[in-house]
Amino acid sequence: MTEQFPPNERSDSAAHLSDHELAMLADPRLAEEEGAAAPPTEDRLTEAQRHLALCAPCREALAATERALNALRDPVNLLEPPAGLWDRIAAEIAETPAAPGPTGASVHQLRPRPTPSRRWVPLAAAAAGVLIGGAAVAGVLGQGSEEEAPAEPPVAAPTVLGDAALEPVAAEDISGQAEMVETEDGLLEITVEVSEAPDPEAGYFEVWLRNEDGSRLQSLGAVTGTESTTFQVPEGLDLSEYPVVDVSHEHFDGDPGHSGTTLAAGPMEPADS
């Protein structure tokens, strides 16, 4: 599926970031490649960082650009099929009797199953068991009366998968909470709340998922204030490799990476059953 980006043809300073600016922010090394367009100026990168802190569509577009660049840098190695494989498949198809009907055969397209994150599979299975078990009990109780209306199927609701207590790191007066849920659509979201709002003159707070030593990081976006902020976890991200929620202090310096200053952090723990 092709990822959708916000309109990015710049007409003034309030417009969304262009594809070129998003690519430079996602990987500054692109400017060093032969034939590459001139990189944005330092002032423009600073303005772009300020825009990212306030614009959710551009943050989503930047995350999508980073995912695309990472995929291009890690090509899939295609394997040659064994000799004679296609001949055997063709022979088996020829020996299969045709299904009855006007056309002699029917073709059904199978829809692929969504792949859940490995870290949260037991929790999702437990939640499904509760819903199925409840429906089965309701069906058994309803068999005793023909006049009763059939039980309605359970309504899907967000499932809390985990939570994290964000303890102070570089700032003793800043702490917070984070909660991960699976939505009705099967998407993962993390809601973060911090005890203090960033000073716009001193930069902004950014939320990351990272491993224990901080050598691997995934940005989720900027905190907008002391009210809770909800972020969508990028699809396909292996949460077992990014178990820690990190809130950093960032500056409008044109550098999209982690500043190295973690204000508060804590591991995401499975929710109590």
Q: What is the CATH number of the domain that holds 230?
A: 2.60.40.200
Please check whether residue 46 lies inside any domain of the structure.
yes
Total count of residues recorded for the chain: 273
Please check whether residue 105 lies inside any domain of the structure.
no
At 206, list the tokens: 């950014």
- Which range of residues forms the domain containing residue 197? 159-270
Point out the domain boundary residue: 71, 92, 112: 71
SS3 (DSSP) at 245: strand
Q: What is the pLDDT of residue 43?
A: 80
Please check whether residue 147 lies inside any domain of the structure.
no
Number of domains in the chain: 2
246/166 Cα distance (integer angstroms): 8
Q: What is the pLDDT of residue 146?
A: 52
Residue 162 or residue 41, greater confidence: 162
Q: What is the CA radius of gyration of the chain?
A: 25
Q: What is the pLDDT of residue 207?
A: 94
Buried b (16+ CB within 10 A) or exposed e, 173-202: ebbbbbbbbbeeeeebbbebbbebebeeee
Q: How confident is the model at residue 53 (pLDDT cuts 50, 70, 90)?
A: confident
The overall average pLDDT reported for the chain is 74
Q: What is the reported pTM?
A: 0.45
Please check whether residue 125 lies inside any domain of the structure.
no
Q: Are residues 165 and 66 in the same domain?
A: no
Q: How confident is the model at residue 37 (pLDDT cuts 50, 70, 90)?
A: low
Point out the domain boundary residue: 54, 71, 88: 71
224/221 Cα distance (integer angstroms): 9
Q: What's the one-letter identity of residue 115?
A: T
184/205 Cα distance (integer angstroms): 29
SS3 (DSSP) at 50: helix
Of 26-40, 91-105, 116-130, 210-224, minimum mean pLDDT range: 116-130
Q: What's the one-letter identity of residue 119?
A: R
Please check whether residue 205 lies inside any domain of the structure.
yes
Average the pLDDT over 36-49 and give the result: 76
Please check whether residue 190 lies inside any domain of the structure.
yes
19/79 Cα distance (integer angstroms): 34
Q: Which helix (H) or strand (E) holds 114?
A: none
121/239 Cα distance (integer angstroms): 11
Please check whether residue 206 lies inside any domain of the structure.
yes
In this structure, are residues 212 and 244 in contact, taking their beta carbons and an 8 Å threshold? yes
144/139 Cα distance (integer angstroms): 10
Please check whether residue 10 lies inside any domain of the structure.
no
SS3 (DSSP) at 178: strand
